[in-house]
Amino acid sequence: MTLAARRDFDGAEASYRRALSIDADAWGALINLGDLNDIRDAPHNALPLYVQAYEAMQRAYAREPQRIRPWQAEVGVLIAERHLAVREVAQAEAWYRRVLSQSPLNEHATAGLAQILQARGDTAAAREYCASLAERTGASDGCSVILDR
């Protein structure tokens, strides 16, 4: 990450690719490559890297849950948001549901899924997701609009 911070993007990319040649499941390197593509204004190239990182996290979770747990849901939400940005609503919904199957109290995945459900007219399900989250964790900014209706 130091090379990228110094804006040596080519050097950073080479370093991340070397890491992947050693370990194809180097999920951190995959995330960083995705970030580089975002910096280079190529989000369409970043999304597959984030998906690969998520899958690598799945495979490595049993070996390193402490390192992966804080990142995996966030990467899944990022993937869902990227799908939404290009109007791939079904894929976004699937990713939000996938995140929630592993992290049922994830505020961003809950709010994202609830917003999709509400947009397609399933307000009851949207409210149910948000109410359940609020009951278990307290108020959620992402769900406040849905619950206030």
Q: Of the candidates 130, 86, 91, which has an alpha carbon nearest to the alpha carbon of residue 108?
A: 130
* Domain residue limits, the chain: 2-109
Provide CATH code, domain 2-109.
1.25.40.10
Over residues 90-146, the pLDDT tens digits come to 999 999 999 999 999 999 999 999 999 999 999 999 999 999 999 999 877 888 878
The answer to whether 117 and 126 have CB atoms below 8 angstroms apart is yes
Give the C-alpha separation, 130 to 111, whole Å.
7
Give the C-alpha separation, 69 to 61, whole Å.
8
User: What's the pTM?
Assistant: 0.89
Over residues 5-25, the pLDDT tens digits come to 556 678 889 999 999 999 999
Give the C-alpha separation, 83 to 88, whole Å.
5
